[in-house]
Structures are given as structure tokens and as C-alpha cells.
Structure 1
Amino acid sequence: MHVFELPYGDSTIKLTLPDKGFIGEFYPRRQSTTDVGDVLIERALDNPIGTRRLEELVRPGQKVVIVTSDLTRPCPSDVLLPHILDRLNSAGVSDEYITIVIALGLHRKMSVEELQKAVGKEVYQRVRVLNHDVDDTVHVGTTGRGTEVEIFRPVAEADFRICLGNVEFHYFAGFSGGAKAILPGVASARTIRQNHSHMMENGAEAAHIYDNPVRMDIEEGVSFVGIDFILNVVVDEHHRVIDAVAGDWIKAHRVLSERLEKTGTVAVEEALDIAIVSAGGHPKDINLYQAQKAIDNCAGVLKPGGRMILLARCPEKFGSETFRKWMTSGKRPAELVEDLKRNFVLGGHKAAAISKVVLKTSEIFLVTNEEFAGEKLVGIECFSDPVEAIEAAFSEKGADAKYAVFPLGASTLPRIK
């Protein structure tokens, strides 16, 4: 028997699985370096890609905005921000000219306690920290694809914009990070909806970036306001920085995305009957809205009719009221996909993405907290006991079922060799 310990919320779940049919346990590959954290961050800031150093670009008296992620993202803002603030101060920009904006997209506003946790208490006391407000935006232009670009006023009106972020696979924008800090990060609901509607087009998929319609629309939209400097990182399962780039908002992001594709893409010998996937623990499984990314990443290695078992604690359950309504609608997966094609709805797009996976494979087994396990979801059967989910999957697929384990599903992109 094989024993696995998989991330689940802030802890782990231990699973015992048979030797027979085992294809492998797959993690992202790590770059061969002993440098982590502050060393990598400082090296990136000392050697920016496509620009001069931050302290050589910014000028005293400029209103500087730093855009960073909320707590649903594993971006270590509290680690990155002191490095940025030190460089700004050394260039003569005092703290009173600096504002940190939390890029919420359409997520809920963060409390004072959450803001302090996100940026660090010392930073919170030093500079102004704001939640992005989707209702306080400025129209800055219209993309060639018809997206009306409306950006949070303090960001649009800043003299100098810095964006922080973590880069990981994104199921329809190719990768997170880069310009996504602005769009959808600090955009209006209308802008986000119009941009995300392109997810149904060809090329809108994980690790696909150069002719990805969503990414191209994002970057055209952001070009109307511009980003003066980025610091983007890759983090491991312990939220430690293991890679970093800084500099130009497109060139630096491309470099880190290409590195991540090389390390995060893993080859699986053959198609699977069963994929056992952890979203990767907190915050990747804070709700089903976030955990969905692991579903999309790992679905491509399943046979038609294959079974995915997803481990995601989901203490915040759905993460979106619209998503909840779609997932509990009682409709068939094919109906949700058709509904989205007829009328694109944010929140509904996540339900349709799950439904597309279900239509290609089969119903997903979700191992989650006991309260959430009582929900009746489109295309998903919920379990609070992982053993029951495992037994049900092997009962369906047989004792000879080929299976593999993906402990960090949101950070791994498996492909058939």
C-alpha cells in the first residue's frame, strides 16, 4: 500500500492507497537553488528585466500606488512590500506619498485585521492601505475586443504604479500575475465581466499566453493606464518565495511564466482512471471558487469517464453568491455550459468551467468539510470522509484502475507524455 499526506486547509489528510494501478505522485519540479525569500527578491530588484531599477525610475513627490493581492491569493505581500518601500524611500519617496491598494477583483472587502495580516502590521501603520472599490472607477479606454476598461480611481490617478503578484497557472488567462493585478484586480464589475467573457474562445487555457484572447485583452486594457514596475514571485506549498522577477510588466512576467511552465508541467505516462488531487491547502482551498483551478489543471490526464477526487476544505464554501446559485441550480452540466454561452455571468463562469470538465470526464468527488459536504452540487458529489470517496471511486473504476496523486493541484499542470 502507498501512504500519502495531502494538503487540506491548514493541515493535511492521510490516505492509504493500493500498489496496484499506481502511476505516480506528481509535484512541480523545483529549480536547483538554495536561495529563497529575501535573497531572491533583492536579486530580482537589483536586476530588473526590461527597465532600470525601481529607485532609478521613481521621483520624489510622485503619488505612488502599489497594487497587491488579497488573502485568497498566496502572494506573500507582507514579505514583498518592505523591499519595495525601502527602495522607494531610498529614492526620496516618503511614506505619505505611498498608497497600497488591495486588488479584490469581485471578492469581498477585507477587514482591518485581514489588511494587517496581508501587508504586515508595521507596513499597515506606515502607509495608507485601501480595499479596491468596484464602484469608484475611471474609464480609461476601450479594447479592440470591446472591453470598456474602468480602473479604481486611486490607481488610475496615481503618478507611478507598482504591481505585486504571484505567478501560477490560470485556467483561462494562461498565468496569474503581471497585468492581472490591474485587470481584473482593480477594475469595475463591467470590465471584469466583459474581459472574462473571452474565456469561451479558443486559446483561453492554462499555460497558453502569447495568443490567449483573455490575456491579450487584459494587456491591451492595462496599457491605457500602464504599469511602471512589477515584482512577481513563485511560491512553494509553504508560501516561501522560490523564484522572483522584477521590472517591465510584460517582459518580466513572460520570463517568470516561461520558467513556471518548465517546472510546473509534469509528464504522466498514460491516461488515468482516477486522479486524486489536493488543491494545495490554504488559501488555494479557501472556497470552491478558488479550488476550481486545481480541477481544471488536472482534468486533462483523465480518460473519458475517469474520476477526479478533489480534496478542498472550503471553509468559506462557494466564495461567490452567483457561483452558489449556479452550482446548486439542479441543472445538468451541459445546461450550465449553454447558459453561459447565451449570457456570460461572472460566477456562472466558474460553474460552467467545472461543468466542461464533467462533460469530458465524469462527476467529480469533492472531499470537503462536513457542513459543505451536505450541498447538492451540479456535477459534483460531496464527501466529508476521504475514505468513502476513495472506496466509491475504486468501486466504480475497478481494482485495476490506473491512478495518480497530485498534492499541489493548483500549481501542477500534468500532461500525458
Structure 2
Amino acid sequence: MTPKINKIPLAFGSTAIELDIPERNISSVILPSEPEKKEDAAFLIKKALENPVKSKRLSEIVNPDSGIVIIVSDVTRPTPTAKLLPPLLEELYLGGAKDENITVVFALGLHRDQTEEESRKLVGNEVYGKIRCIQHNTHKCRRIGMTSRGTPIEIFESVLDADIIIGTGSIEFHYYAGYSGGAKSVLPGVSSTEAVITNHKMMIDEKAVSGRVDGPVRQDMEEAAKITGLDFILNVVLDSKKEIVAAVAGGFIEAHRKGMEVVDSMYKVPVEPADAVIVSCGGFPKDINLFQANKALDNATQAVKEGGSIILVAECAEGIGNQVYECWNRECRSPDDAIERFKKCFEFGGHKTAIIAKISKKFRLYLVSKLPEEQTRTAFFTPMASLKDALSAVLSENPDAKIHLMPHGGQTLPVRKDN
């Protein structure tokens, strides 16, 4: 009798690959649960500002003489800052705040400077025309202390000179800070190069993973934000269409945790670890290069037993996507080599090599992509010409293998039921 076949499309760049898999091998299809009905974004933001978590309203905190800094995300982040600022400014005006006393600071962290056009687009023409907007400068930071983990707290002087510091951003899973948003406005957002690097060195700790806040990177960020004096945050949660589905405001830890609960309810999916997982990043632009695609791989590790297999489906039309990452892949001869090198020498980009090296020691990694075979191998994956070949490789070792499918690997975070 012929086994029943399930045909499941998995996004690959701007197209899809159809997966033929015997039904008996499917453990589950891991999908996010996004809200179908959405309230108006402006209403959600206004409601959050009127009902802050563990904080007075901003209109009760500020006065006409307050010097106010609003930290906003840079061009690399999906936060719809132009939607956040008008209601935020209205709340400040209620307390008597004046435009000339307000400064918007773009949190570049260690990213490149933005063009004026990018800055204007991020905040909107009206705000850009009336509020002073400046970019973070790592060379203009002052040291105000040190965290208990040894990270220097060196903050952009324009932020330190303010009476009131407000952070904005969006909350989503982050592969070593647990979640984005909250204290990340301060560290790495407006911190020195040394502060960011010292903090990021902790990313290979076992607890520095998506969906956790007890890891050292997040805890260190929050300690730095507390000492800096981050007074208030306004954060939003976005769905896969980048539309606002929730907003939180108030104390930078308590409001952040409330936003996290929304993210968890949408994107955390309880699973029993299976023998293998087939994961697609969700297509372009999430699989534009291997640097971006690794986020889906990282999430998928939670859905498979140690010693099992992960098949990553990622087009990688633009190759590896980061020169340092590519260089480390070429130079590190083995996973152990990469891990040891990272312990001795933190280099952003090289962290991807070290993280994949750690994963490759626990699981067999297969990659279906457009990368040359040699580049795939040096990145610690086994190259596969097709999804069919990759599935055959897994089933040839164990014909009864139970396999999870993750069509939206970049957004979905499996949570082990055995935890």
C-alpha cells in the first residue's frame, strides 16, 4: 500500500519549495497564532500612554522646564517610530513640555550613521521639522559606572544631560538578549563601543537565547539602563505584516515584561522535541543571506532532540551576508576552533560562526540553499541539492523519524514541553 503523502509549501526566497513527506513522519506543523482583528494603532498607543505599567503618566512626570530625550530605533529595526512619536509628544505636551527642550536620539549602537533622508523618514516630516533629531555617537560617551558583570556604563552625553530619558522600540524575540525592546534603547542603543562589545561577549552563555530574560546579556542591559536612569518606555509588538498589535508603556522592566507576554502568546509554541525539524525562514527577506537565516535555525533547535537533524531551507541569494562571518567560516577549521577563537577574541560577525559551531556539535545540520557547496561546508552545514535529498538523508538513517515542520522559522519559537 502506498503511504499517504502530504504536500507542504515552504517559502524559499520569493518562491516556495513543495515538500513531499509521508504523513506518518510528520510530528506537527509549528505555526504562530496572530490576532485576526487588530485595533487602531494610534488608539493602542494612546491607551498604553494613559495606563502606564508601574509608573506615573509622562504628563505627570515632566514640566515646562524638563530637558527630555526620546531614544528611537535606527533604520535597521522594524519599529514604526513615525506612528509612536505623535501620541508620545501629545502626552508630553499635556505636562507642559516644550519642543525646544525635546531631543530625539537615534539609537545606532555600533551601526552605521544614517542619511538625513533616512532620519526624516523614520520620525516623519512634521516631527523632523520641529524637534531636534540627532544620532548617537560612540565617541561622545561618558562613563558613569560599571555593571556587576564588568560592563562599563558609557552613555552618549546628550542622553546623560537630559532630565527625563524615554526609550521607544518594538518587542520581538532576540537570539541572545531574549527579546528586543526595553533596556536595549540604552545598551547597546546609546552606549560606547567598549560597553557594547563587553555586553555582547556574553552571548554564548547557555541562557543567552531567544525567549528568556534571565540570560546575562539582557540582565546586564537592564542593570545599565537602571544606573543610567531610563525613566519610561513606549514599546510596541508587531505582527508578521509589521502592523502594531499591542503597545505597552511605563517602567522599563515591568512594561517590557507585559509586552513580552503578548509576543509569547503569538509566537511561542509548546512542542515535544522530535527526531528532526525542517525549517524555512519564511522566505525573502528573512533568507536573503545566511547571516539573517541563522535566526530561524536558532529557533528550530528547541524543537529537536539532541543528536537529531535540522534541515534549514534558506535561499541565501546574497550569499553569507557579512564579511567577518565569511572570514571566520573560512579560517575556523572545526566547531571547537570557532568556539575557542570567540572566547579569546570577540568580533561581531564572528559570533555567528561560534553560535552555529555550538549548534553543529548538538545536531546534524543540512542546508538547502543557493550557496556554493564549499561555503556551506565551512559554515558547518551539510549542503543539499534539494529538499527531497535532505529529507531522504534524514529518513535513510531513521525511516520512522518524527519530523516537525516550521514554515515561519524566523518568527516562531518552539518551547520544549520537557522544560
> Above 0.5 in TM-score?
yes
For residue 2 of structure 1, the aligned residue among 7, 16, 22 is 7
CA distance in 2: counterparts of 1:70 and 1:366, whole angstroms: 32
C-alpha change, 1:407 and 1:394, in structure 2 (3 Å) is closer
How far 1:330 sits from its partner (Å)?
4.8
Q: Structure 1 residue 289: deviation in Å?
A: 3.9
Q: CA deviation at 1:252?
A: 0.7
Give the 3 Å change call, closer, same or farther, for CA 186–350 of structure 1 in structure 2: farther
Q: Does residue 1:170 correspond to 2:171, yes or no?
A: no
2:353 corresponding residue in structure 1:
351
Return the offset for 1:271.
0.8
Q: What do the CA deviations read for 1:78-117 (whole angstroms, capped 9, x no partner)? A: 2212221222233332333222222222222222232233
The TM-score normalised by the length of structure 2 is 0.87
Q: Kindly state the Cα deviation for residue 163 of structure 1 after the two structures are TM-superposed.
A: 0.7
What's the secondary structure of 1:230's corresponding residue?
strand
Tell me, yes or no, if structure 1 residue 271 matches structure 2 residue 268: no
Query: How many Å apart are 1:217 and its aligned residue?
Result: 1.4
Q: CA deviation at 1:195?
A: 1.2
Q: How many angstroms apart in 1 are the aligned matches of 2:135 and 2:288?
A: 19
How far the C-alpha of 1:188 sits from its partner, in A, is: 1.1
Partner of 1:338: 340
Which of 206, 220, 224 is the matching residue for 1:217? 220
Change (3 A) 1:408 1:226: farther
Q: How does 1:238-253 map to 2 (within 5 A)?
A: 238-253=241-256
Q: Structure 1 unaligned runs (5+)?
A: none
Which deviates the most, 153-162 or 322-331?
A: 322-331
Corresponding residue for 1:18? 21
Return closer, same or farther for 1:350/1:43 CA change in 2, 3 Å cut-off.
Answer: same
Write the deviation string for residues 31-69 of structure 1: whole angstroms up to 9, x where unpaired: 586425222212211111011212221222322221122
Q: Which residue of structure 2 lines up, in the alignment, with residue 414 of structure 1?
A: 414
Q: How does 1:12-411 map to 2 (within 5 A)?
A: 13-20=16-23, 21-30=25-34, 34-209=38-213, 211-278=214-281, 281-282=284-285, 284-285=286-287, 288-303=290-305, 304-311=307-314, 313=316, 318-319=321-322, 321-365=323-367, 367=369, 375=375, 377-380=378-381, 388-398=385-395, 400=399, 401-411=401-411
How far did residue 139 of structure 1 move?
0.8
Q: 1:365 to 1:5 in 2, by over 3 A?
A: closer
Partner SS for 2:237: strand
Letter in 2 for 1:256: G
Equivalents in 2 of 1:142, 1:265: separation in Å?
Answer: 34
1:40–1:407 Cα change, 3 Å: farther
1:190 positional shift: 0.5
SS at match of 2:155: strand
The offset of 1:26, in angstroms, is 2.0
Pick the structure with greater CA Rg: 2
1:381: how far off? Answer: 5.7
Q: Cα gap change, 1:316/1:362 in structure 2, threshold over 3 Å: closer, same or farther?
A: closer
CA gap of 1:241–1:312, structure 2 versus 1, over 3 A, is farther
Secondary structure of the structure 1 residue equivalent to 2:302: helix
Identity of aligned residues (%): 36
| Distance in structure 2 (CA, Å) of the matches to 1:39 and 1:7 | 36
Cα deviation, residue 161, structure 1? 1.1
Read off the aligned partner of 1:127 and give its amino acid letter: I
TM-score, scaled to structure 1: 0.87
| 2:361 aligned counterpart, secondary structure | helix
Task: Check conservation: 2:277, 2:300, Cα contact below 8 A.
Answer: no
The aligned amino acid for 2:407 is: P
Query: How much has 1:287 moved relative to structure 2?
Result: 5.2
The 3 A distance-change label for structure 1 pair 373 and 165 is farther
Q: Secondary structure at the match of 2:331?
A: coil
Segment of structure 1 superposing worse, 130-139 or 195-204: 195-204
Q: What is aligned with 2:3?
A: none
Q: Deviations over 1:136-192 (max 9, x none)?
A: 211111111111111122122222111111112222222211001110111111101
Cα 1:113–1:307 change in 2 (3 A) is same
How far residue 334 of structure 1 moved from its aligned partner, in angstroms, is 2.0
State the distance in 1 between where 2:310 and 2:127 align. Answer: 46
Supply the distance in 2 between the matched residues of 1:262 and 1:109 (Cα, whole angstroms): 35
**How far apart are the structure 1 equivalents of 2:284 and 2:303?**
22
Name the CA distance, whole Å, in 2 between partners of 1:379 and 1:271.
22
Aligned residues: 406
Distance (Å, rounded) in 1 between the aligned partners of 2:12 and 2:164: 39
Partner secondary structure for residue 141 of structure 1: strand
**CA-CA distance at 1:302 after TM superposition:** 2.5
308-317 or 181-190, which deviates more: 308-317
Q: Distance in 1 between matches of 2:288 and 2:15?
A: 14
Output the CA distance in 1 between the equivalents of 2:403 and 2:84.
39
The answer to whether the Cα contact below 8 Å between 1:288 and 1:314 also exists between their aligned partners in 2 is: no
What is the distance in 1 between the residues matched to 2:258 and 2:184?
Answer: 16
* Aligned-CA RMSD value: 2.8
Change (3 A) 1:244 1:341: same
SS of 1:194's equivalent in the other structure is helix
